[in-house]
Structure 1
């Protein structure tokens, strides 16, 4: 007897695999640039958002630079970078030392990049030592400031800037403050008010998700983020850069 169609299990989820061509292209970029440039620099890009990443790429690969001064920044998965380097470890002495640096990294959800450049290592280090970006705090990061929302009318920056330079927060946001962030607010004469000061966080405190959302709601982007230079390889000297 044929199987009833009513009893068939139909999968409703539509799971698509990552484009194989994109993976191949990424791997080719890693390998081709390794052969083209003098130095290979491993970077931890976990603390940099997408806009800052675009800016970094433009700075190192600007059309205004001479061809020999242009570098390439390739973002990829840890295992993809390791595989591309391993394909050339017989070709370049001591390249396995750079591979070992990346293999020791066990940070969850980390974003890694490889900067291929002809600039000397000192120039690269000086650039990233001075590269500092301010952004909104992330969950489990340390609070950059002590933040308290003053009692009375709540302003858009929550007292972070002088009242004369600020404007009262839109009354439509009151339910969000009260229900989502559990800030004991109320509406009086069409304005959001607090009966007492509200403590959000202490400087150096590890922030939870709600605290980060409150800081973002009040436009406080004082957390500082840097790019970590994990290691570099000099192809000409066939050694780890110092």
Structure 2
């Protein structure tokens, strides 16, 4: 008998959950990397973009191992107390695994790691909720796209989208044109969805993806060293160290 061609309902609510086995496997993997590498870094991410984090993973794939996400499992793997820590000093890293943070294992010297990440800050398009880093004004005349050099005018078929995003345009010789300057956003103010979309269409990038190195643990000594410099939010971070006997915090948010 031939199969029925009638539409069948397919449930989209069945999503495979992470089991205890998955969590256990991740804990084992983190601990194996603790035993393998000389340094364990704690890092935070500003203006998270998966594409940029994938680039970091790709560029470090031969000299590091990166874990990001599922912070509770990573913290448990390292051990959050001196009694539970996998190796001496690691609980000082584990206690700070909160929010958009990850851990990086490597044998590369600390100076090399900090220099590399200090230079890695690709720009990207802001999203709704981000704060504008500058006041951006579209001048009177043809609405130009900044994606190319030199800038090019928007095609005629995109005028409805521009008008939907708040521009008062008219067609002049087939080109969407402004009769008056239009302020897209003002520096320091939170972007609306329409503003963020318009900035993306125009080609203006206002945020920077950053990996802020907060601290690193050294396997040989068990010492946790806080990194000196700026965090992803621009706050100054000073450097200090702590040995395995000192229970004071060695990293500041």
TM range (shorter): 0.7 to 0.9
Q: Relative to 1, partners in 2 of residues 1:26 and 1:214: Cα closer, same or farther, differing over 3 Å? A: farther
Could you say what secondary structure the match of 2:95 adopts?
A: helix
Please state if 1:79 is matched with 2:72: yes
Could you say what secondary structure the match of 2:145 adopts?
A: coil
Q: Give the C-alpha shift of residue 186 in structure 1.
A: 2.3
Cα pair 1:168 1:191 within 8 Å, conserved: yes
Q: Which moved more, 1:229-238 or 1:182-191?
A: 182-191
Q: Relative to 1, partners in 2 of residues 1:175 and 1:197: Cα closer, same or farther, differing over 3 Å? A: same
Please state if 1:183 is matched with 2:167: yes
Match of 1:5 in 2: none
Specify which structure has the higher proportion of helix: 1
Match of 1:171 in 2: 156
Superposition map of 1:146-161 within 5 A: 146-157=135-146
Superposition map of 1:74-153 within 5 A: 74-86=67-79, 89-102=84-97, 105=98, 107=99, 110=100, 112-153=101-142
Please state if 1:212 is matched with 2:196: yes
Cα pair 2:49 2:209 within 8 Å, conserved: no
Match of 1:61 in 2: 61
Deviation sequence 1:200-234 (CA, Å, 0-9, x none): 11233332222111110111124222111122211
Gaps of 5+ in 2: 1-8, 227-253
Give the alignment's TM-score, normalised by structure 1.
0.77
Q: Which moved more, 1:17-26 or 1:90-99?
A: 17-26
Q: Relative to 1, partners in 2 of residues 1:57 and 1:11: Cα closer, same or farther, differing over 3 Å? A: closer
Q: Give the C-alpha shift of residue 49 in structure 1.
A: 1.9
Partner Cα separation in structure 2 for residue 196 and residue 46 of structure 1: 36
Partner Cα separation in structure 1 for residue 86 and residue 29 of structure 2: 18
Could you say what secondary structure the match of 1:132 adopts?
A: coil
RMSD (Å) for aligned C-alpha atoms: 2.7
Q: Relative to 1, partners in 2 of residues 1:80 and 1:168: Cα closer, same or farther, differing over 3 Å? A: same
Please state if 1:14 is matched with 2:9: no
Q: Relative to 1, partners in 2 of residues 1:76 and 1:27: Cα closer, same or farther, differing over 3 Å? A: farther
Q: Give the C-alpha shift of residue 19 in structure 1.
A: 5.0
Could you say what secondary structure the match of 1:16 adopts?
A: coil
Partner Cα separation in structure 2 for residue 97 and residue 74 of structure 1: 17
Could you say what secondary structure the match of 1:215 adopts?
A: helix
Give the alignment's TM-score, normalised by structure 2.
0.74
Please state if 1:223 is matched with 2:207: yes
